Each structure stands twice: as structure tokens, then as C-alpha cells.
């Protein structure tokens, strides 16, 4: 499952076979927790406004990763459960009052029917068998419950630095995106069976980053994680990132990196 931030803007597809998940690799949890920006409360605020909600009694965060999305859900919920298939990710997730974790796939979640008032997925649904996941989500939601899917896309753009777009092309040619689930389309455009779409929204969410922060972020993206999983040394990949981006950060403390956020709100329907 993916966690926290998607790798690049929607529209690019490389799905051929059901992939193994590179985010289960050793050491990725710490990289992920260090590198990903905490955009989750901003996305959830938009989701709540879309759904007309303000509070959740019990929430489930699927593909929780290192729990940035779980922490954000906890801010509006009495108690939350974060679920992820990767023990490496869960080991890096912070513990706290009102938060529990379970190791589980998205398609077979170990809870009774009607257990949750809300289910969130942050940048994870593209790794799922989506029909099976949405069937589980439908089963687990109590009456009046809702699902929100939200993503955060790296656009490959840097404010006032046009040459950065070419760097992005070179970087993703050198470190290609790993395959994701080939089974379904985009849930933003195809409403899952058993649900109605309340709304969806795209919005700009630019973030200022130092070079160290940018490298940490890139090292948490699936192309670079997968490169290490395929045998490249992590230090080699990070070194290439530092060397090839140094000119962009010369003489400046931070650069503004362009991201695109998306939020989709769904509610279950029953016969």
C-alpha cells in the first residue's frame, strides 16, 4: 500500500501485473516518516466541509503507513484504528491515546460489520484491489458513515525554476515508477459499487522545502524506494539526488515545490 503522498500527478499509467509493494522493504518506514510533508489535516478539513461533517466517533485509516493520516483523523475522532499490511511502516507509527494499529490488507479487514463511522485512505487506493476494498468499506461502515480518499501529487515543478521540470523527467526515466494495481480505474471518476459520490476536489498545495527536505521526500517516493528494493544502494540514490539538485538550491534556503491535492467524498447506500 502506498502511504501519505502519491508520486506524481494523475494521468500516468504503468499497470501491467499485480505488484509487490516496495514500501514493505527494510528501513522504508523511517524514510517515509522523515520525508513526507504533513498535508493530511488540510485535506481532511476539505473532506469534512464537502461531507458536511465535523466529528467522528470511531474512524478507520486504511493504508495508514507511518500514521500521519491516522494522526490527522484522530484530531477529529474520539478513537481511530490505523491498518496497514507493512510491519515496517507500522513499526515507525507513533503511539498515542485513542490510536490503535492492526496489520491487515485493505481487502480483508478484521472488524465486525458496522464498526466505523468514517474510513479514510490517503494515497493508498491505487495499490488496492478496489472492488474488494470498497466491499469491505461498505461492510464496515455504520449508518450515516462516509469514506474519503485523498491524495497529494508531486507535480515535478519548482517555483521560478523552469529547468526543474526537465530534472523531473530525467529522474523518473532513471528511476521509473513501479507497477501498481491493474484491476480498476480511478475512483474519482468511477463511483464504486454500493456508494454515491458526495463530491471531489483538486487544489494546489505548494510546500517550501530545503534541499535536505526535498531529498528526504524524494527518497520516500516509490520509484526511489523501488530502486533500492531492486538492488541500488540507498546512499547512491540519495547522492544522485543531492548532486543533480544542488544548482537549484544554490544561494537559497528553500524552494517552493508544487503539489496537487485531491479529495473525494463517498457515502454508502443500502438496498
Closest CA to 34 of 95, 124, 94: 94
pLDDT (mean) for 77-105: 94
Does 241 reside within a domain? yes
Three cell numbers written together for 236: 547512491
Does 32 reside within a domain? yes
pLDDT (mean) for 258-263: 97
**Residue 86 predicted with pLDDT over 80:** yes
Three cell numbers written together for 69: 493520516
Does 129 reside within a domain? yes
Least confident of 106-115, 131-140, 181-190, 211-220: 181-190
Three-class SS state of 76: coil
Stretch (H or E) spanning 177: none
**Residue 4 predicted with pLDDT over 50:** no
Check the CA dihedral 36-178-11-133 and report its sign.
negative
φ/ψ of 145, rounded to 5, equals: -75, 175
5 vs 43 pLDDT, higher one:
43
Three cell numbers written together for 222: 516509490
Provide the number of structural domains found in the chain. Answer: 1
Does 7 reside within a domain? no
Q: At 165, which CATH number?
A: 3.40.50.150
Expressed as residue numbers, the domain containing 132 is 22-268
Does 43 reside within a domain? yes
Does 67 reside within a domain? yes
Closest CA to 202 of 128, 121, 263: 263
Does 14 reside within a domain? no
Three cell numbers written together for 30: 523511517
Does 15 reside within a domain? no
User: pTM for the full model?
Assistant: 0.84
Three cell numbers written together for 146: 462516509
Question: pLDDT (tens digit, 9 = 90+) per residue, 191-243?
Answer: 999 999 999 999 999 999 999 999 999 998 889 988 988 889 999 999 999 99
Amino acid at each position: 500500500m502506498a502511504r501519505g503522498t502519491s508520486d506524481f500527478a494523475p494521468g500516468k499509467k504503468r499497470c501491467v501485473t499485480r505488484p509487490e509493494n516496495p514500501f514493505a522493504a527494510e528501513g522504508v518506514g523511517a524514510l517515509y516518516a522523515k520525508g513526507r510533508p504533513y498535508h493530511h489535516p488540510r485535506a481532511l478539513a476539505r473532506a469534512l466541509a464537502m461531507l458536511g461533517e465535523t466529528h467522528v466517533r470511531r474512524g478507520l485509516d486504511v493504508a495508514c503507513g507511518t500514521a500521519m493520516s491516522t494522526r490527522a483523523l484522530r484530531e477529529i475522532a474520539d478513537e481511530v484504528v490505523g491498518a496497514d499490511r507493512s510491519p515496517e511502516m507500522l513499526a515507525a507509527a507513533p503511539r498515542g491515546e485513542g490510536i490503535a494499529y492492526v496489520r491487515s490488507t485493505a481487502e480483508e479487514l478484521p472488524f465486525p460489520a458496522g464498526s466505523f463511522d468514517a474510513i479514510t485512505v490517503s494515497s493508498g487506493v491505487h495499490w488496492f484491489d478496489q472492488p474488494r476494498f470498497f466491499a469491505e468499506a461498505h461492510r464496515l461502515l455504520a449508518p450515516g458513515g462516509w469514506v474519503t480518499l485523498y491524495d497529494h501529487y508531486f507535480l515535478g515543478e519548482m517555483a521560478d525554476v523552469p529547468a526543474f521540470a526537465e530534472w523531473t523527467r530525467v529522474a523518473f526515466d532513471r528511476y521509473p515508477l513501479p507497477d501498481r494495481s491493474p484491476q480498476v480505474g480511478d475512483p474519482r471518476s468511477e463511483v464504486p459499487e454500493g456508494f454515491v459520490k458526495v463530491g471531489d476536489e483538486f487544489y494546489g498545495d505548494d510546500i517550501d522545502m530545503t534541499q535536505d527536505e526535498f531529498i528526504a521526500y524524494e527518497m520516500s517516493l516509490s520509484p526511489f524506494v523501488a530502486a533500492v528494493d531492486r538492488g541500488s544502494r540507498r546512499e547512491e540514490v540519495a547522492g544522485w539526488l543531492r548532486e543533480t539538485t544542488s544548482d537549484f538550491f544554490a544561494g537559497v534556503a528553500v524552494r517552493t515545490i508544487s503539489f496537487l491535492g485531491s479529495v473525494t467524498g463517498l457515502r454508502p447506500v443500502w438496498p
